[in-house]
């Protein structure tokens, strides 16, 4: 039976981990490679690296990092953040990324999804959906949730799936950072409306929130950052908690 995935997300700036991390046993908590290995050893099922740097050398720095991670990591990882072209994706995959996540560029130019799927295959193309509930409608937002669009979440999700994306990474910007739980209703609706896996993101604060995302939200995977970085929720305990609630886990 396919298990549900637990995915720590690492924010990267100029090749370094940005969000403060509290891994006492690490020599250098700012080193994404060392942090990634620590998460893999703890039982993380997959990792996401989100690059938030905005420098000219961004592409090269990120590609170097991807290479160093791929050298060491024996679980899959996804890279996202500012990816806007076939060439960007080609560089990351050739340096050893397993999947890439595209966001704003796909909203601005949906044909990019088709081009990526045609060249690299569905299996490595994740489309990130950042949305907020505005006047009763879930609307896609760009630039880290700051810029609203008129694009409606569920119709966009269907279009993304039809264009061949392999997976959706849905972040509720209303829930992100609140530690009040995932957007389970919207998640469940996404799972009903599209036939590809959905990763839940935004709102993790307790182990029960993860259980809700899987049971109520029907998510295939759940992603979080700070609760893992600050050891508020140790991954081995989380996985045991979820397995005890009959949620299939790799333990």
Min separation Cβ 222 and other proteins, Å: 12
Fill in the DSSP letter of residue 124: G
Please list the residues that pair with 246 across neighbouring strands.
none
Contacts of 50 (CB under 8 A, 6+ apart): 9, 10, 11, 12, 80, 81, 101
Min separation Cβ 212 and other proteins, Å: 19
Pair of tokens at residue 196: 């590809």
Return the residue of 144, 148, 197, 234 that touches other proteins, per CB under 8 A.
197
Residues 125-164 vs other proteins: string with x where CB under 8 A?
----------------------------------------
Residues 82-121 vs other proteins: string with x where CB under 8 A?
-----------xxxxxx-------------------x-xx
Rank residues 42 and 232 by Cβ distance to other proteins and give the closer one: 42
Q: How many whole angstroms separate alpha carbon 175 and alpha carbon 136?
A: 15
Q: Could you say whether residue 195 binds other proteins (CB under 8 A)?
A: yes
Annotated catalytic, 45?
no
Beta strands at 198-201 and 137-142: parallel, antiparallel or unpaired? unpaired
Annotated catalytic, 176?
no
Question: Of 11, 98, 174, 212, which is the active-site residue?
Answer: 11
Distances (CA, A) of 183 to 86, 124, 148, 190: 31, 25, 18, 11
Q: How many whole angstroms separate alpha carbon 141 and alpha carbon 35?
A: 30
Question: Of 51, 88, 130, 176, which is the active-site residue?
Answer: 130
Fill in the DSSP letter of residue 81: S
Instruction: Note the Cα 246 to chain centre separation in Å.
Output: 24
Return the residue of 30, 76, 82, 110 that touches other proteins, per CB under 8 A.
76
Q: How many whole angstroms separate alpha carbon 232 and alpha carbon 10?
A: 16
Rank residues 169 and 173 by Cβ distance to other proteins and give the closer one: 169
Q: How many whole angstroms separate alpha carbon 47 and alpha carbon 36?
A: 7
Rank residues 50 and 196 by Cβ distance to other proteins and give the closer one: 196
Which listed range, 30-38, 70-78, 136-144, 234-242, lies at the site for other proteins (CB under 8 A)?
70-78
Give the up-direction half-sphere exposure of residue 230: CA atoms within 13 A in the CB hemisphere: 10
Return the residue of 70, 133, 188, 215 that touches other proteins, per CB under 8 A.
70
Indicate which residues carry an active-site annotation. Answer: 11, 130
List residues near other proteins by CB under 8 A: 1-5, 40, 45-46, 67, 70-72, 74-76, 93-98, 118, 120-124, 166-167, 195-197, 220-221, 250
């Amino acid at each position: 039976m396919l298990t549900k995935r637990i995915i720590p997300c690492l924010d990267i700036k100029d090749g370094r981990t940005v969000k403060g991390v509290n891994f006492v046993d690490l020599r250098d908590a700012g080193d994404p490679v060392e942090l990634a290995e620590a998460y893999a050893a703890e039982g993380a099922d997959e990792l996401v690296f989100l690059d938030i740097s905005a420098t000219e050398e961004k592409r090269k720095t990120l590609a170097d990092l991807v290479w160093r991670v791929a050298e060491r990591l024996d679980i899959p990882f996804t890279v996202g953040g500012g990816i806007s072209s076939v060439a960007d994706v080609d560089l990351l995959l050739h340096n050893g990324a397993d999947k890439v996540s595209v966001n704003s560029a796909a909203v601005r130019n949906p044909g990019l999804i088709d081009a990526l799927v045609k060249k690299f295959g569905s299996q490595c193309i994740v489309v990130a959906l950042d949305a907020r509930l505005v006047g009763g409608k879930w609307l896609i937002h760009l630039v880290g949730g700051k810029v609203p669009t008129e694009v409606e979440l569920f119709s966009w999700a269907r279009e993304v799936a039809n264009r061949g994306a392999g997976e959706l990474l849905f972040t509720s910007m209303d829930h992100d950072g609140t530690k009040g739980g995932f957007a389970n209703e919207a998640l469940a609706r996404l799972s009903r409306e599209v036939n590809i896996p959905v990763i839940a993101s935004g709102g993790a604060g307790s182990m029960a929130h993860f259980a809700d995302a899987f049971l109520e939200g029907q998510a295939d995977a759940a992603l979080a950052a700070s609760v893992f970085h600050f050891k508020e929720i140790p991954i081995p305990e989380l996985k045991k908690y979820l397995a005890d609630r009959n949620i299939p886990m790799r333990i």
